[in-house]
Structure 1
């Protein structure tokens, strides 16, 4: 009975994603055949520097230009292009920067060789490679490592998948967590029909991963409705509803 229940959220979201992707696939194939570009609907989202409120949570995603309206306890300066692991205090370490292809293998190697053994990882990242985020997240979970976000810091795009992996997730109410659509597959020049296949396979893997980590895969409804050049900032009550943080 418990196994059936655990699969239901994934099946439910996969059905919605299938309908969405079929429509997207039809538009992409039509665009390939006729040389058309998909139209843009509605006004562009406000900049990330604008505060969010319920119902107004989509912001333009330019992490090289804008940062959320928060008051971090420390200014990290310009974040590195790739993930950097540094010791914060004792068994707590910081993981900051963009997530590039190959970062998971490199960071996992560092985590295995650290003394003292990491117990908590503080995250701050604009995101990047989904596959590396999932691989790194699986290692954090298997190693029993907690994840944390401090007040005023942010975790966007693929970063929330790493955040989800913590055996305990400690997220300040003043931290900023955001999701959006991702690109899947290595070749952006594939015909549209094959590109959609990559997207479907990638989304299925992400939703199964979230379910395995105890996160409600329905969070993907927020991601799928937000284009890659925008970010949907999750409110504290949504982080609780989707299981990123425990209920009061």
Structure 2
């Protein structure tokens, strides 16, 4: 009888090991879910009470709600047919020009950079509610390296990461009823490692943004409202701020 019970007894440590492994996998899965939900938590706990994007702004009343999880459709007031990723098209006018329109998806940088290098454009018009910061930085640097100008046509928007493309222009103009807005960004991917290194990721990303704006000749005073505006809101610059912070050249 003792011999028959022995094999069963030997399986107990194995069962305990399996339970520990299963428990560990569940814990890791829970952490990953929390990481993915983290960007939305502040909005869920304390949703923005700022007016919607389609509400007009005035000095001192420039913050509007913005949906950071869906850059192509950040809220009312942005064309509902806004492309989900950047599309380059030619524009008829007095000088060779292209239009970059749509949200900035990861991977758009490399594709748009190749397209810009192949074009014989002098001017890049923008209409983008934002998206991937790193891709926008790549495009902005290329615009400057090619010596191109940038512009926001009437009714265009340039939010979130889009200003990093816009500021790449040598000469930069914003139409009176176009809107350019800034806010806080998140950096890094939603994986376990960046969760432990989140502060380092943010610091590295902000340093890259600051270096880019400085290299483009932008007054870093623009980072004041940018860093003070949460990701689920956007701060739309006034015409005076666009001039004071050297965002526009004309």
TM-score w.r.t. length of structure 2? 0.75
CA contact under 8 A between 2:125 and 2:152: conserved in structure 1? yes
Change beyond 3 A, Cα 1:195–1:88: same
Aligned mate of 2:142, from 139, 143, 151 = 139
Q: Deviations over 1:143-196 (max 9, x none)?
A: 001101111211000001100000100111211000011110123544655101
CA contact under 8 A between 2:62 and 2:236: conserved in structure 1? yes
Match of 2:117 in 1: 112
Match of 1:215 in 2: 218
CA distance, structure 2, for counterparts of residue 214 and residue 113 of structure 1? 26
| Alignment length (residue pairs) | 205
Q: CA RMSD in A?
A: 2.4
Larger Rg: 2
Aligned mate of 1:235, from 220, 233, 238 = 238
What is the deviation of 1:67? 1.3
Change beyond 3 A, Cα 1:42–1:124: closer
Q: Which runs of 4+ in 1 moved over 6 A?
A: none
CA contact under 8 A between 1:97 and 1:126: conserved in structure 2? yes
Aligned mate of 2:247, from 231, 241, 244 = 244
What SS does the aligned partner of 1:66 have? coil
Greater fraction of residues in helix: 2
- 1:103 equivalent to 2:103? Answer no
What is the deviation of 1:40? 5.5
What is the deviation of 1:221? 1.2
Give 5+ residue unaligned stretches, structure 2.
1-33, 36-40
What SS does the aligned partner of 1:122 have? strand
CA distance, structure 2, for counterparts of residue 191 and residue 106 of structure 1? 26
CA distance, structure 1, for counterparts of residue 240 and residue 233 of structure 2? 21
Match of 1:51 in 2: 56
CA contact under 8 A between 2:188 and 2:194: conserved in structure 1? no
What is the deviation of 1:246? 3.2
Aligned mate of 2:160, from 146, 157, 161 = 157
Q: Deviations over 1:101-157 (max 9, x none)?
A: 11111011112223xx01001000010000001111111100001101111211000
Match of 2:229 in 1: 226
TM-score w.r.t. length of structure 1? 0.76
